[in-house]
Amino acid sequence: MMKLDVGFVRSQFPAFDHSPAKDWAFFENAGGSYVCRQVADRLEAFMTEYKAQPYGPSWMATKAGEAMDSGYETIAGLLGTRRENLTLGPSTTANLYVLAHALRPGLAAGDEIVVTNQDHEANIGCWRRLEEFGVVIREWRVDETGELHVGDLEKLVGARTRVVCFSLSSNIVGTQNPVAEIVRVSKKHGALVVGDAVSFAPHWLPEVEASGLDFFLFSTYKTFATHLGVMWGSDEGLAKTKAQGHYFNENKPNYRLNPTGPLHAEIAALAGVTAYVDEIYGYHFSESEGSLRRRTEAVFGLIKEHEIDLTRRLLEKLEDVPGLRVVGSGTESMETRSSVVSMRCARIAPAQLARHLAGREIAVGAGHFYAVRLLEALGIDPERGVLRVSMVHYNTLEEIERLAEALVDIVAG
């Protein structure tokens, strides 16, 4: 079976060419991934060659407009959707905040919204704020391992449920939630379904229109590109929103849910993601495949296999580290797990562990990662938090060995 050539992948990321970054094992990808060369090149070109107000008659403005258009088209192509259904805002937190306000005028006092206690706060707090307007919040709660069960959602959803919000994948426990089942249960009573895919998208990009979701959001600074939030809306979902931008942009797709206005250079650089996918595709597959969507699926298929290998190796290695406990599921659910592994050590605080690892040129995260409610539900003090190792497809099995050895050493010492 064909395997992802990680050496080739790494050659596409300038960070691996530069000291001192190239000597580090980088496992803080859920906080923001490295940027691929194709994106960095486009950003530089925009900034240095045609940084002008886009869509004007000058060469620079025309070029800037074309570059922005290709950024929108890239995201539409990757998700298998149309540009009109996209909002490219500054971040997912901002997009969700705007979305909650955009749906609010259509909600009456007593209408219900389901939020989880597994999500990043970005997909919880903005909905809870609607309580001020009489909206009733129902909380879909995790079990003692941090997992959500659709049976529990079934008990919460009823005739007054208008919106169900969840994450496709937890940014702490790494579990992927069953989208189709969640959609099925939520739609029984016609609720809109909002899926936060920020910690899912670096590992797999679904075809959004077939997903049954109404809103699908992710952040491109975690998918090898510039710092933006992508929000896709279904036609039905968008029809229920009130525009939040300037009044004269009320009917303008891409603008009506983006009160901040588009970030020109950052959007233009997104076209580099397609170029990156194509570079990986062309290197691994000989047959030419017409649609970007199909090429993306082929590339993500390779990525998935590699990430499963990385995650399995790490989970197995962690079993040999006395005193360390993984938060969430282990190797039994590899197919439905993202390559995010959080852990705790009774003796050493996560921040201290992260500092020790940094001393060995290994970068990991420590803290609550804005999933405060999840940590509280698991009986973990959010101030202390967890140690999080988040891997993407440019990580290597050698890096995992290095991390595991370092952990054994530090925890034992």
- Residues 41, 363, 281, 234: is their CA dihedral positive or negative? negative
Give the residues across from 169 on adjacent strands.
176
Burial class (CB in 10 A: 0-12, 13-18, 19+), 289: middle
48: tokens are: 């240095």
Closest separation in Å from C-beta 377 to ligand PLP: 16
For residue 206, the minimal CB distance to ligand PLP (Å) is 15
Indicate the residue among 12 and 167 with the shorter CB distance to ligand PLP. 167
Which is nearer to ligand PLP, 267 or 404 (by Cβ)? 267
State which residue, 112 or 196, has the beta carbon closest to ligand PLP: 196
User: Smaller CB distance to ligand PLP: residue 74 or 170?
Assistant: 170
Q: 383: Cβ–Cβ under 8 A, 6 or more apart, which residues?
A: 368
Identity of the residue, 176 or 396, whose beta carbon is nearer to ligand PLP in the bound complex? 176
Please report the DSSP string for 257-287 in residue order. T-TT---HHHHHHTHHHHHHHHHHHHHH--S
Backbone angles phi, psi at 313, to 5 degrees: -60, -45
Dihedral sign of CA atoms 347, 388, 408, 355 in order = negative
Judged by beta carbon, residue 167 or residue 342, the one nearer ligand PLP is 167
Q: Tokens 């937890």 label which residue? A: 170
Which residue carries 């910690």 as its tokens?
Answer: 199
Q: What is the DSSP string of 93-141?
A: HHHHHHHHHHHGGG--TT-EEEEESSS-GGGTHHHHGGGGGTPEEEEE-
Q: Which is nearer to ligand PLP, 292 or 371 (CB)?
A: 371
Footprint of ligand PLP on this chain (CB under 6 A)? 30, 91-93, 120, 122, 167, 171, 196, 198-199, 219, 229
Kindly give, in sequence order, each residue whose CB lies less than 8 Å from that of residue 163, ignoring residues fewer than 6 positions away.
103, 113, 114, 127, 191, 192, 193, 194
Report the greatest alpha carbon distance in the chain. Answer: 66
In sequence order, what are the beta bridge partners of 389? 341
Angle between helices 292-318 and 271-284 (to 10 degrees): 80
Shortest Å distance, C-beta 343 to ligand PLP = 17
Least Å from the CB of residue 167 to ligand PLP: 5
46 vs 369, which CB is nearer to ligand PLP? 369
Q: Which residues pair with 163 in a beta bridge?
A: 113, 192
**In this complex, which beta carbon is closest to ligand PLP, that of residue 65 or of residue 174?**
174
Are residues 411 and 154 in contact, defined by beta-carbon separation less than 8 angstroms? no
Of residues 217 and 407, the one with the C-beta less far from ligand PLP: 217
Of 163, 173, 175, 94, residue with least CA distance to 373: 173
First to last CA, the chain: 41
Burial class (CB in 10 A: 0-12, 13-18, 19+), 20: exposed
Q: How far apart are CA 175 and CA 189, in angstroms?
A: 26
Shorter beta-carbon distance to ligand PLP: residue 223 or 396: 223
Query: Cβ neighbours of residue 309 under 8 Å, at least 6 residues apart?
Result: 397
**In the complex, least distance from residue 158 CB atom to ligand PLP, rounded to whole angstroms:** 27
